[in-house]
Amino acid sequence: METNPVKENKSSAGSSAGESSPPPNVRIYCLDDLDTIATVGTGTFGRVFLVKDKKTRTFYALKQMKIPDVIRLKQEQHVHNEKEVLTEVTHPFIIRLALSVSVAAENDGERRLLVPRCAYRHRAGPFFSTLWVKGMLKARGISSMLVMWLGAVILSRQFWTHHDERFLYMLMDFVPGGELFSYLRSRGRFSNATGLFYTSEIVCAIEYLHSKEIVYRDLKPENILLDSEGHIRLTDFGFAKKLSDRTWTLCGTPEYLAPEVIQSKGHGRAVDWWALGILIFEMLAGYPPFFDDNPFGIYQKILAGKLEFPRHLDFYVKDLIKKFLVIDRARRLGNMKNGADDVKKHRWFKTIDWDAVPLRKLKPPIIPKVSHEGDTSNFDVYPEEDWKKAPPVSHKDLEIFENF
């Protein structure tokens, strides 16, 4: 479950005669259209809020990031990568950006488009249009045609991201079941069957990302949400990246880092299969295979590669974990010639109908308690604070996020 805050910019209602209507099923958002309900997550330079669309009463998660902190921590490229990746993916087990047109207002009398670049996808393939709206824009209408292609416009996906002088915003699905981490923490560890269910859905998500030449790089229980029916959604794509070759950035959670990341050898999709091996171990044992009080101690244990399994683990799952946690990535399961097919054929998955998994036909082992739309009870309680206190950034710094 995810949510968002922000309340700025007054809007005026209505549209004048002669103005074109927004495309069907595309919501025109400005920040004042969203009511902030509660904080449902925090990070180094941002928060995730539960927000509600005042008109449709639909709940969303709003990720709000402080631009000064993003710049100070040198995370500009990661932020851009996250947006780029999320605008490219559509999968039942991956978080989605909200569909929308982004409009904001300087005052009641004049509206301007703060995020002028809108990406569209036609059924025949992707194409892009830069929209510069001049003059008066009404709260729920746009004064000119957005896109015209041979006289017919078919808009299927348009995503809401936004920035002002202080913050970056990403509006996403609200996934009310909470983090997989919370359920693992409360139970201590999962049964073999429970771990098998979550792993099968994660395998499908990773396979899909890799088919798009995207490496996730941040698989861990905290980044796996459960929806109201108990199926997973991967979230937080801040470390994800579209790859053409290897990348060298050291990023991720220490316990989940692959050896090639630690050794700065350049890394690619193989790091996600390593992380899946760590995750399976943690789900079934209740703790990660390599841990220490000091990150450097963790790195030493990862590079040593010594695995000690709890006695209760199934023979086949131990074999699977060993094949994921191979130092030589050329021999790592999932990273060889047949890719994810090699993973799916492993004996631990012998009971899994792989055609049924992405159709969400497997029965989830945990059904989150969700009493109503907008229920935040499956998330930790965070102290609320006034995020508008962040200082505005310079025009030069703001140019970095011109197309966000």
Q: Indicate if 169 and 46 belong to the same structural domain.
A: yes
Domain, as residue range, for 185:
180-349
Task: Give 113's contacts (C-beta < 8 A, 6+ positions apart).
Answer: 102, 103, 104, 131, 132, 133, 137
Same-domain check for residues 206 and 257: yes
Whether residue 82 sits in one domain with residue 153: yes
Tokens standing for 281? 């171990």
Give helix then strand counts, H and E, for the chain: 10, 15
pLDDT of residue 347: 98
Q: Within a 10 A sphere around the Cβ of 363, how many other Cβ atoms?
A: 9
Give yes or no: residues 193 and 287 share one domain: yes
The enclosing domain of 165 has a CATH number of 3.30.200.20
Is there a domain that residue 335 lies in? yes
Residue 265 annotated as lining a ligand binding site: no
| 8 Å CB contact between 102 and 118 | yes
Q: Do residue 54 and residue 156 come from a single domain?
A: yes
Residue 101 is predicted with a pLDDT of 47
In the block, tokens 């429970």 appear at: 194
Output the pLDDT for position 28: 60
The model carries a pTM of 0.79
Q: Is residue 104 domain-shared with residue 206, that is, in the same domain? A: no
Same domain (yes/no): 69, 212: no
Domain termination site, one of 126, 147, 174: 174
- Kindly list the catalytic residues: 218
Which amino acid, 361? Answer: K
pLDDT of residue 108: 33
Taking a C-beta distance cutoff of 8 angstroms, is the pair 210, 272 a contact? Answer: yes
**Tally of structural domains, the chain:** 2
Q: Which regions in the chain score pLDDT beneath 70?
A: 1-29, 100-158, 244-252, 386-388
Which pLDDT value is given to residue 136? 33
pLDDT for residue 389: 73
Whole-number pLDDT of residue 404: 81
